[in-house]
Amino acid sequence: MNQSKYRTGKISFKERIKHTVISIKLGFFLALKQLSRSNKWTTVLIIFIMTLTFLNLVVVSGILVGLIEGSVNAVKTRYLSDVIVSTLDEKNYIKNSPFVINVAKSLPWAERTSSRYLGSGTVEANYKTRIKDTDKVNSVGTIIAGINPDDEDVVTGIKSLIVEGQYLTATDYDQVLLGHNLLKKYLPIESPGFSTLSDVEVGDKVRIEINGNVREVYVKGILKSKVDEVSRRVFMTDTQLRGLLGRSDYNVNEISILLKPGSDPVVARDAMLASGVGQYAKVQTFEEGVPKFLKDIKDTFAILGNVISSIGLVVASITIFIVIFINAITRRKYIGILKGIGIHSTAIEFAYIVQSLFYAIMGTLIGVVFLFGFLKPYVGLHPIDFPFSDGILVATISGVLIRSGILFIATLIAGYIPAKIVVKQNTLDAILGR
Amino acid sequence: MIKVEKLVKSFHSGDSELVALKGMSFEVPRGQFLSVTGRSGSGKSTLLYQLGLLDDPNSGNVIIDGIPVFELNAREKTQFRLERLGYVFQDYALLPELSSLENVMLPLLMMGFTKAVAKEKSAQALTKVGLGDKLPNLPSQLSGGQQQRVSIARAIAHNPQIIFADEPTANLDTETADAVLKTFEELHREGQTIIMVTHEEEYSRRTDRVITLSDGEIVSDILQKK
């Protein structure tokens, strides 16, 4: 450095850049030394806090979204499948169903289809023991679904939902499956306007009535599901319900189409519509078919999750700020000495930034390993048992990257500000501890 | 060459004002070993802080090799301290998490020397002060005298024009203090300008010149024949 530089009071831009690069290198050097020779337990504690902060950022919102995502997934896998064909709004059934079913089955992407007849009716349990007309009727209004047991099991895995009794076979006659939410023992709600069947067990006889047609049937099994379209329905074979409904034209109400793995539901939907199915039925992908309230709740929970995550981020920033501030304050004398012997403020500030970033990176790395290595698979295998869904943990790579990025930026700022405050103090006061 | 012109420094304590330096003026030629003595509160450390650019005076100026140093901005002052000045503090002022070698390396790294060169120069400086075998030791693994010598090595490693030493022997026993002073004498013989604050007459007698302060004024300025 020459003398004229001091005389003019100006350091050239090139020299400033050079100083900045040197400062960054030296800051790195100081940070590494401080980290490697600081108290190990303090470092472990700070990293632990950062890990918790990262998990708080990702897991809280992930659980909130996953709570509804679990519900949406269940609706898809247990009811809608990949593509759902349903009645047009103004119709009671899918007109020309055999044609529609053939189109669905002939899709090159279709793995299997399940057609359902649906009819509104009632199920009554105490019709034999009820003596007086004034005795309370033990009945419940429901939707009765007529299914091909094999098709339905392949498409929705309904057989695995049996908790009592047995699943239907194609030849079953006068046998039904009851959704668990139709039974008081599974849904003990005493509420006016909400009815359930009392004292109904597998093997009991119940009476179902559809369109004035009455039939006595045996309860073959009970299904348990968190999807209302399954848990509040009665299932019987399609041939038998067709008879009860008097549906001799084979027109069904719903067709769920399971696609081969990797197939695009949108492409399948469009192919169905291109075949002219649209004039007889509504064709939707599962995403379109998911009830709107679920979508709304999912969006709301996502916002809620982000709000909670933001609070977590502020807490994390304050934590880092306090940690770095205490660190810088307790090392104020040494900061003064560094400045005194000619170490530039940038180098000292950078040393603290590197330290805070180290805590954030280590905390995030451990958090990511814990999240993807244990937590997410564990919750996937053991979903959180909410009353209306099996909650999963939604954590995508992109989401984690974004949140990690935000955490790093917040950490960087939270590390820089206290370092700047302490470094800005008078050098001599810092050295002398004034 | 250091030129001190009418240097005034005062401190405020509540409503009262304490004038620590009352318009002090003197010159220090290159290569001189100057000691500043005086009783506690006489202003000797305050003078050293002004000369070393660690503090700003209320008025007056210090011109080092033609540069009015108080006209420099903060960044330039830092750079000036880095390149031209060396400090030895009373309490050694070493960074506890850095080894002897690393403590000495710091100013050199800031000056832009590569790690290898900085290591080499630092090792030379430490060897010069008799600590060639203590390079990897942390300050906590060194005695007071050894720490002070590390501090001296750090002050001289980058070949500064002037070394400022603030009571460098105050915390040392007689034998160690003598060793430290011998190190300064050796540096002085090599042409180093040294300004040392001390309250111990025994050590000030071993310098070229003694300025004695009292109440912020020079009461004597004696050139000594050794």
pLDDT along chain B (226 residues), means of 10: 92 83 93 92 91 91 91 87 90 90 94 93 91 93 90 90 89 83 88 91 91 93 79
**Chains A & B: contacts with CB separation below 8 Å:** 92
Record: contact B97-A38, CB cut-off 8 A: yes
**What confidence tens digit (pLDDT) does each residue in A320-341 have?**
788 778 878 888 888 899 998 9
What residues of chain B lie within 8 A of the CB of A37, using their CB?
Answer: 97-98, 138
DSSP state of A212: T
pLDDT value of position A1: 44
Residue B5, number of CB atoms within 10 A of its CB: 15
Distance from CA of A53 to the nearest CA of B (A): 29
| Contact criterion met (CB below 8 Å) for B32 and B224 | no
In sequence order, the 6+-apart residues with CB closer than 8 A to the CB of A338 are A30, A347, A348, B95, B106
Distance from CA of B155 to the nearest CA of A (A): 8
Per cent of chain A over pLDDT 70 is 96
The shortest CB-CB distance from B110 to any of A7, A22, A340 is to A22
* pLDDT of A138 above 70: yes
pLDDT value of position A293: 81
The shortest CB-CB distance from B54 to any of A340, A343, A345 is to A340
Record: contact B67-A23, CB cut-off 8 A: no
- Comparing alpha-carbon positions, the chain B residue that sits nearest to A27 is B110
CA distances to A135, A140, A177, A219 from A125, rounded to whole Å, are: 13, 9, 14, 10
**What confidence tens digit (pLDDT) does each residue in A42-77 have?**
889 889 988 988 888 888 888 888 888 888 888 889
Least confident of A62-66, A235-239, A353-357, A371-375: A62-66
Domain ranges of chain B: 2-223
Taking alpha carbons only, the member of A168, A184, A183, A253 closest to residue A217 is A168
What residues of chain B lie within 8 A of the CB of A18, using their CB?
Answer: 112
**What confidence tens digit (pLDDT) does each residue in A247-297 have?**
888 899 999 999 999 999 999 999 999 999 999 999 999 988 887 887 888
Taking alpha carbons only, the member of A252, A301, A325, A226 closest to residue A84 is A252
**What confidence tens digit (pLDDT) does each residue in B102-118 have?**
999 999 999 999 999 99
What residues of chain A lie within 8 A of the CB of B81, using their CB?
Answer: 340-342
Site of tokens 């940038």:
A346
Record: contact A341-B81, CB cut-off 8 A: yes
Record: contact B78-A344, CB cut-off 8 A: yes
**What confidence tens digit (pLDDT) does each residue in A208-245 have?**
999 888 999 999 999 999 888 899 999 999 999 998 88
What residues of chain A lie within 8 A of the CB of B82, using their CB?
Answer: 341-344
pLDDT value of position B226: 58
Taking alpha carbons only, the member of A266, A265, A187 closest to residue A226 is A187
What residues of chain B lie within 8 A of the CB of A343, using their CB?
Answer: 78, 82, 106-107, 110
In sequence order, the 6+-apart residues with CB closer than 8 A to the CB of A92 are A253
Q: List the structure tokens of B131.
A: 């600590």
* pLDDT of A159 above 50: yes
Burial B41-77 (b: 16+ CB within 10 A, else e): ebbbbbbbbbbbbbbebeebbbbbeebebbebeeebb
* pLDDT of A137 above 90: no
B2-223 CATH: 3.40.50.300
What gap in Å lies between CA B30 and CA B158, rounded to an integer? 17
The per-residue pLDDT of chain A, averaged, comes to: 87
Site of tokens 């005194």:
A340
Confidence of residue A6 (pLDDT cuts 50, 70, 90): low
Tell me if ipTM is over 0.90: no
| Contact criterion met (CB below 8 Å) for A110 and A259 | yes
pLDDT value of position A115: 95
More confident site: A256 or A190: A256
Backbone torsions φ then ψ of B7, nearest 5 degrees: -80, 125
The shortest CB-CB distance from A341 to any of B69, B107, B112 is to B107
